[in-house]
Amino acid sequence: MSARRILLVLAALALLASLALGQEALPAPAPESLAAPAPAAAPASAADAAVDEALGGVKLSTAVEIALLLTLLSVLPALVVTLTSFTRIVIVLSFVRRSLSVNELPPNPVLIALSLFLTMFVMGPIFSRAYEKAYVPYKEGQLGTTEAAGAAWGELRGFLVANTRPSEIDLFLDLARVPPPVDDSGVRRHDELPFRVVVPAFVLSEIKTSFQMGFLLFLPFLLIDLVVSSILISMGMFMLPPVMISTPFKILVFVLVDGWSLVCRSLVDSFVVS
């Protein structure tokens, strides 16, 4: 509740600030003998103009844009998890930590911060193309709000579909009871897939891919555990937990092969961004 109240207060302050700027921008009233009649249809100021012509629609005023931006910030964590590469990265890094038998090192804030930075590296080209094709034309008045949102979603949808297995897309098309969009030659058109199909299919595909990568990460460390357990049993040390002996060796091997760099590079290179 506190976060919602803060967002509402910030939105109200932004609206009041915009209105105040609009009032300050109004020219001072001239004497009746010197004042020239102003056109009746002209807006009072740029800040008070609530609508603006844009391809048959309306262009949002500054106050409404700020309110929408604050609303977007409230759902930003959900968007980061479902529409970016964050899910795969954070799950794989968690698997690395568990495979090393150090369940609390690195701590969660460190893993999340590293995942966010790796997500920025992966999503950078997509966001750059969306900025050039959607935001820049929108600010220049060449695109309306709907057209700009469609252009940005087109770039993001291309990334999501390119990193999603066809089986997951078929699954959610069947659950949504939506016929697969195809062209005249029978080839599926990915640019016409609906939002409610693309996003959950991408999330499910990311979870499956991250678990496959986690399984491959576990194998070498599992081998170390088996070797240490066999040695301890052969020495008759049944009461000594094998994890106490194997953990230092696993950390040593991981550091010697520069494991963190290999994992980070493999995660970033595993995505299709072109």
Q: Write out pLDDT tens, residues 150-160.
A: 788 888 888 88
Please check whether residue 2 lies inside any domain of the structure. Answer: yes
**Domains held by the chain: number:** 2
Domain that holds residue 59: 1-14+46-74
Same domain, 126 and 189: yes
Please check whether residue 30 lies inside any domain of the structure. Answer: no
Same domain, 149 and 166: yes
Is the pLDDT score of 110 beyond 70?
yes
The confidence band for 252, taking pLDDT boundaries of 50, 70 and 90, is: confident
Q: What percent of the chain has pLDDT over 70?
A: 76
Is the pLDDT score of 33 beyond 70?
no
Is the pLDDT score of 43 beyond 50?
no
- Residue with the bigger pLDDT between 274 and 262: it is 262
For position 73, what pLDDT does the model report?
76
Same domain, 70 and 90: no
Same domain, 243 and 166: yes
**Reported pTM:** 0.66
For position 11, what pLDDT does the model report?
53
Same domain, 115 and 201: yes
3-state SS, the chain, equals CHHHHHHHHHHHHHHHHHHHHHHHCCCCCCCCCCCCCCCCCCCCCCCCCCCCEECCEECCCHHHHHHHHHHHHHCHHHHHHHHCCHHHHHHHHHHHHHHCCCCCCCCHHHHHHHHHHHHHHHHHHHHHHHHHHHHHHHHCCCCCHHHHHHHHHHHHHHHHHHCCCHHHHHHHHHHCCCCCCECCCCCECHHHCCHHHHHHHHHHHHHHHHHHHHHHHHHHHHHHHHHHHHHHHHCCCCCCCHHHHHHHHHHHHHHHCCHHHHHHHHHHHCCCCC
Same domain, 204 and 152: yes
Please check whether residue 253 lies inside any domain of the structure. Answer: yes
End-to-end CA gap in the chain: 41
Helix (H, G, I), strand (E, B) or coil at 160: helix
Same domain, 251 and 212: yes
Please check whether residue 27 lies inside any domain of the structure. Answer: no
For position 59, what pLDDT does the model report?
52
Please check whether residue 33 lies inside any domain of the structure. Answer: no
Taking the C-alpha atoms of residue 85 and residue 207, their distance in angstroms, rounded to an integer, is 11
Same domain, 129 and 100: yes
DSSP symbol at 230: H
Please check whether residue 41 lies inside any domain of the structure. Answer: no
pLDDT averaged over every residue in the chain: 74
Please check whether residue 70 lies inside any domain of the structure. Answer: yes
pLDDT in tens, 206-231: 999 889 888 888 888 888 888 888 88
